[in-house]
């Protein structure tokens, strides 16, 4: 019988129970014991679901109290020096992730090319790795009581873990320090009855992985010698395995391969016989998108490779962490569309159907799934109509000329202060929005409430003495979902939540058809805000690349065509804002770097398409209209040329959470356009000191001119509370004025 394995399951719960429990603990409304019990119930429910779906190897250790990489850092005592004197506790764990009154949080980065963020492990000369707890063993024992020997422990491998760390002076030395700890963990698990142990090594689908092949040989030879009973699955995802001809010889029990995103290369490696005599865990169901799998095509792939490997196990292409839990609650979706979707629970069913098909079992479930899949492909909304973009303007006047014209129009001081766009979404805002959605209050009552919030925050911003204001985005649930509710070709879900970072969840819209601008998106609120003040108010839009990367995108057209469809829609909205007198328009591309292919050979085409679509959206404005953009949590040095090519008048980026490292990309490249480097971390409730913010402003001024530099937080403020937001912005403005005075006195 063909086995089915799963790599990971969503933590959030069907109705974000995970998020709510953790935030209740942070707010002091739940004890640690209550939190642990609530999360235990969620964990056990996930195990039960997977067992009932017929999963033979159920992941254990994928569940977390915040982030799986942070779990490993905490277990291995990779604690930042600034927290070293604090007693080990759950509060220390959360302080590393979120910061506290005394210390800033650890850096946060995107997990490869996904919208999931992990907490970056911090090493120093004082780091002394040791095993501080038996977390994975405890979780395995708990799971074994529930699902028996189906329980499969999951852990991030040592090479990927160290490669994703900061502060590592000697890579080889750091890995060697961890090997005895992994050995102990593996030994504990084997002694407790574990069969397969999934060791995630996704670094080996990247170009960087090509330089780590020798390290892999040493590490896995060590494990084979020291824990020969451990059946390790060398698991990769998001792309094809690099150097398959060499890595396939590793002394491990099995290899997990992504046959969705790395299909061609991985299939080529299998066909060349690299995995002959090996066990292969074949990822044929897309773990990152929500469309139902083409069962016939996937079954054909599995049947083609079955005889070329020693054993074939069916699984998703990656953890199901990246998709919502279930479609069963999506009662308002059009039936043809809903039946063509597969969230985590439905993907488990697909996996079992594929395994049964390999075993020669015919089922009504398989036939129905095929019929639903075919009905979706035949639907009218899947027929593609591409607009001609050849006549769309994609070039603006030189920046130096625009800068003079905009400076004369806006008359801003040096080091202008602004925010990224959103302000706190208070419980009252969320309650009122819910009441409006339920029909408990009228459209006019809801509009009046939103306008009251806009007016209140315009006054707050003026009192803070910010130079460029925003309307606050109180009408928006999310910077992408909001646009998905107003553009043709999109739909939104009721409970399609996905974890982004920590307890932060997003509800990506679904792009199912051709995207078109059919109504004003942001004009009414922006124009109202501008009517309340003499200071400029930024129009706030999300760019085509970010909308695509933060949506569940259609998979039946090219990404370039999809980028351009959305770009044309955003262009139409920009024209309406400009016509209404809005002088500054921000088009956020927070996720541009996120969508970058993991292999350099594939990156240029993506970046060229991204730049082209941004310029389609933004280049038709007049020279005196200032275009801003925003990006966050990226390795900017890799894409600095493309960022420059966007030709935005001002870019604002995250720098505080990265502890200033990101600034170097813009200093060394001599970035010529306007730039706002985020001077404090909004993902932590901690209010920065004025000395910190002054230092964060002054560092880049060593290389950047004061005429091009803006001062802003590092991201939107939606998730923060009002008192801490106002306090932090007071520090930001005071710090800016201090630096302005210092510059004036030079």
| 584: β partners | 538, 626
Instruction: Name the pLDDT band for 282 (thresholds 50, 70, 90).
Output: very high
pLDDT digits (tens, 9 = 90+) for 543-556: 999 999 999 999 99
Ligand-binding site membership of 594 (annotated): yes
683 catalytic? Reply is: yes
Residue 259: HSE in the Cβ half-sphere, 13 Å Cα cutoff = 26
The reply to whether 3-124+131-323+331-380 and 402-745 are identical in fold is yes
Looking at residue 641, its pLDDT comes to 87
d(CA 46, CA 550): 25
And the tokens for 716? 């939107």
Q: How many residues does the chain have?
A: 746
Buried b (16+ CB within 10 A) or exposed e, 290-312: bbbbbbeebbebbeebeebbeeb
pLDDT digits (tens, 9 = 90+) for 653-665: 876 555 455 566 6
The CA-atom distances, in angstroms, between 445 and each of 176, 450, 476, 519 are: 63, 9, 16, 21
Residue 135: HSE in the Cβ half-sphere, 13 Å Cα cutoff = 22
And the tokens for 620? 């038709």
Question: Could you say which of 68, 369, 628, 683 is catalytic?
Answer: 683
pTM, to two decimals: 0.91
Ligand-binding site membership of 218 (annotated): no
- For 104-108, 167-171, 341-345, 523-527, which range has the lowest pLDDT when averaged over its residues? 104-108
3-class DSSP state of 634: coil
And the tokens for 451? 């306008």
Ligand-binding site membership of 473 (annotated): yes
pLDDT digits (tens, 9 = 90+) for 475-528: 998 889 999 999 999 999 999 999 999 999 999 999 999 999 999 999 999 999
* Mean pLDDT score, 434-456: 94
Residue 646, pLDDT > 70, answer yes
Ligand-binding site membership of 102 (annotated): no
pLDDT digits (tens, 9 = 90+) for 698-743: 988 887 889 999 999 988 899 899 999 999 999 999 999 999 999 9
pLDDT digits (tens, 9 = 90+) for 5-62: 999 999 999 999 999 999 999 999 999 999 999 999 999 999 999 999 999 999 999 9
Long-range contacts (CB closer than 8 Å, 24 or more residues apart) made by 262-271:
262/205, 262/236, 262/238, 263/301, 264/240, 265/240, 265/241, 266/240, 266/241, 267/301, 267/305, 269/240, 269/241, 269/244, 269/245, 270/305, 270/308, 270/309, 271/305, 271/308
Q: Does domain 402-745 have CATH number 3.20.20.210?
A: yes
Number of Cβ within a 10 Å radius of residue 191: 10
3-class DSSP state of 647: coil
Going by C-alpha positions, the residue among 664, 558, 662 that lies closest to residue 613 is 558
Going by C-alpha positions, the residue among 5, 115, 131, 111 that lies closest to residue 552 is 115
d(CA 455, CA 471): 8
d(CA 331, CA 336): 12
Ligand-binding site membership of 404 (annotated): no
Ligand-binding site membership of 715 (annotated): yes
Indicate the pairing of strand 584-588 with strand 504-506. unpaired
Ligand-binding site membership of 110 (annotated): yes
Ligand-binding site membership of 550 (annotated): yes
Ligand-binding site membership of 588 (annotated): yes
- For the domain bounded by 3-124+131-323+331-380, which CATH number is listed? 3.20.20.210
The domain spans of the chain are: 3-124+131-323+331-380, 402-745
pLDDT digits (tens, 9 = 90+) for 116-172: 999 999 999 999 999 999 999 999 999 999 999 999 999 999 999 999 999 999 999
d(CA 696, CA 653): 13
pLDDT digits (tens, 9 = 90+) for 84-100: 888 889 999 999 999 99
Residue 611: HSE in the Cβ half-sphere, 13 Å Cα cutoff = 16
Ligand-binding site membership of 256 (annotated): no
And the tokens for 460? 């707050």
Query: Contact 184/232 with Cβ under 8 angstroms?
Result: no
């Amino acid at each position: 019988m063909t086995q089915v394995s799963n790599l990971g399951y969503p933590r959030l719960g069907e109705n974000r129970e995970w998020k709510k429990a953790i935030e209740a603990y942070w707010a002091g409304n739940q004890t640690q014991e209550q939190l642990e019990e609530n999360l235990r119930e969620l964990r056990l429910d996930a195990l039960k679901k997977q067992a009932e779906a017929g999963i033979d190897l159920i992941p254990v250790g994928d569940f977390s109290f915040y982030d799986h990489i942070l779990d490993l850092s905490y277990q291995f005592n990779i604690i930042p020096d600034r927290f070293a004197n604090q007693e080990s506790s759950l509060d220390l764990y959360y302080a590393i992730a979120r910061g506290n009154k005394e210390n800033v949080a650890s850096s946060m980065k995107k997990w490869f090319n996904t919208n999931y963020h992990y907490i970056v492990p911090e090493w120093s000369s004082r780091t002394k790795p040791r095993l501080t707890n038996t977390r994975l063993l405890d979780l395995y024992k708990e799971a074994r009581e529930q699902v028996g020997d189906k329980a499969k422990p999951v852990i991030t491998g040592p090479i990927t873990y160290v490669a994703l760390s900061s502060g590592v002076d000697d890579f080889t030395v750091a890995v060697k320090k961890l090997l005895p700890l992994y050995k102990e963990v593996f030994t504990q698990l084997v002694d407790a009855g574990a069969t397969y142990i999934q060791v995630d090594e996704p670094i080996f689908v990247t170009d960087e992985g090509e330089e780590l092949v020798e390290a892999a040989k040493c590490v896995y030879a060590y494990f084979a010698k020291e824990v020969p009973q451990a059946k390790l699955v060398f698991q990769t995802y998001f792309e094809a395995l690099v150097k398959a001809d060499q890595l396939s010889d590793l002394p491990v029990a099995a290899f997990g391969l992504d046959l969705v995103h790395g299909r061609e290369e991985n299939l080529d490696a299998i066909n060349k016989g690299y995995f002959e005599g090996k066990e292969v865990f074949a990822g044929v169901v897309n773990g990152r998108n929500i469309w139902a799998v083409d069962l016939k095509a996937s079954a054909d792939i599995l049947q083609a490779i079955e005889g070329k490997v020693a054993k074939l196990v069916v699984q998703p292409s990656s953890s199901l962490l990246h998709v919502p839990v279930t479609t069963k609650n999506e009662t308002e979706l059009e039936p043809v569309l809903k039946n063509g979707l597969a969230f985590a629970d439905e993907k488990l069913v697909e996996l079992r159907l594929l395994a049964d098909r390999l075993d020669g079992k015919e089922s009504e479930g398989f036939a129905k799934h095929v019929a639903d899949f075919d009905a979706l492909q035949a639907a009218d909304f899947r027929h593609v109509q591409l607009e001609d973009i050849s006549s769309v303007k994609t070039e603006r006047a030189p920046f130096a000329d625009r800068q003079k014209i905009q400076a004369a129009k806006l008359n801003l001081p040096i080091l202008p202060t602004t925010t990224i766009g959103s302000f706190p979404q208070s419980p009252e805002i969320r309650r009122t929005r819910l009441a409006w959605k339920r029909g408990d209050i009228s459209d006019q009552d809801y509009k009046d409430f939103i306008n009251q919030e806009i007016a209140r925050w315009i006054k707050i911003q003026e009192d803070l003495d910010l130079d460029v204001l925003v309307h606050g985005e109180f009408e928006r649930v999310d910077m992408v979902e909001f646009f998905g509710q107003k553009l043709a070709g999109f739909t939104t879900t009721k409970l399609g939540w996905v974890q982004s970072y920590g307890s932060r969840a997003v509800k990506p819209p679904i792009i199912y058809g051709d995207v078109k601008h059919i109504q004003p998106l942001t004009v009414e609120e922006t124009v109202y805000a501008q009517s309340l003040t003499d200071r400029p108010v930024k129009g706030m839009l999300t760019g085509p690349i970010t909308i695509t990367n933060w949506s569940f995108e259609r998979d039946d057209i090219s990404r370039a065509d999809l980028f351009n469809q959305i770009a044309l829609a955003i262009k139409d909205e920009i024209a309406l804002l400009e016509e209404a007198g809005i002088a500054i328009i921000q088009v956020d591309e927070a996720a541009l770097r996120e969508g970058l292919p993991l292999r350099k050979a594939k990156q240029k085409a993506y970046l060229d398409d991204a730049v082209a679509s941004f310029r389609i959206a933004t280049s038709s404005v007049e020279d005196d209209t200032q275009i801003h953009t925003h990006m966050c949590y990226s390795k900017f040095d890799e894409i600095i040329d493309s960022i420059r090519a966007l030709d935005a008048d001002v870019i604002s980026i995250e720098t505080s959470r990265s502890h200033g490292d990101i600034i170097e990309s813009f200093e060394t490249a001599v970035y010529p356009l306007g730039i706002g480097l985020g001077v404090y971390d909004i993902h932590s409730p901690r209010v920065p000191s004025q000395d910190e913010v002054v230092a964060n402003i002054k560092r880049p001024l060593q290389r950047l001119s004061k005429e091009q530099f803006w001062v802003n937080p590092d991201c939107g403020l939606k998730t923060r509370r009002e008192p801490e937001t106002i306090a932090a912005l007071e520090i930001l403005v005071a710090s800016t004025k201090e630096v302005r005075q210092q510059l004036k006195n030079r």
